[in-house]
Amino acid sequence: MTQMTIGEALKLTTENGVPIGGYTLRLTLEDTRARNPESPLYERLDKLFVQAFDECQFTVIEVPGNSDTARLFGVFDGMKLCDTTDIEQHAGDFDVDLNTILDEVEDPRPEPGLNIGFLAQETHEHSEEE
């Protein structure tokens, strides 16, 4: 599978006629410090999501498996409503802030998983009833 930059994905999406009205970002971390609300790492990530996104939430998910393959992840989800032209800059700023936080964590440095999705812009018009 070929990876695209955010700019390439935005261009491809808009060229295919999908109007974009924002984006979502999911951060997953297996590191136990990211799941503990008393951990400085959790606190900093939570604060980052609250500051960077219009809406955000935290959950813990378990990937099922046997005792050797089952895994727990701390999951931070964020949603940002913004113009297409602002998404690349906003996501880039978020990435810089995230890496600053992760670089300051004692070894081992947590390795994040990031997934970005685009939100379609509302296209239907509302009519006023008299």
Q: Within 10 A of 37 (CB to CB), how many other CB atoms are there?
A: 9
Q: Could you report the per-residue pLDDT of 21-75, keeping only the tens digit for each?
A: 999 999 999 999 999 999 999 999 999 999 999 999 999 998 888 878 888 999 9
Alpha helices (runs of H) in 5-125, residue ranges in sequence order: 6-15, 40-52, 84-103
Please give the pLDDT value at position 64: 87
Q: Which residues have C-beta within 8 Å of that of residue 87, sequence separation ≥ 6?
A: 6, 10, 20, 22, 23, 80, 118
Give pTM, 2 decimals. 0.84
**Alpha-carbon gap, residue 129 to 58, rounded angstroms:** 40
Please give the pLDDT value at position 2: 67
Please give the pLDDT value at position 130: 43
Q: Could you report the per-residue pLDDT of 91-114, keeping only the tens digit for each?
A: 999 999 999 999 999 888 999 999
Q: Which two tokens stand for residue 60?
A: 């813990």
**Alpha-carbon gap, residue 120 to 24, rounded angstroms:** 11
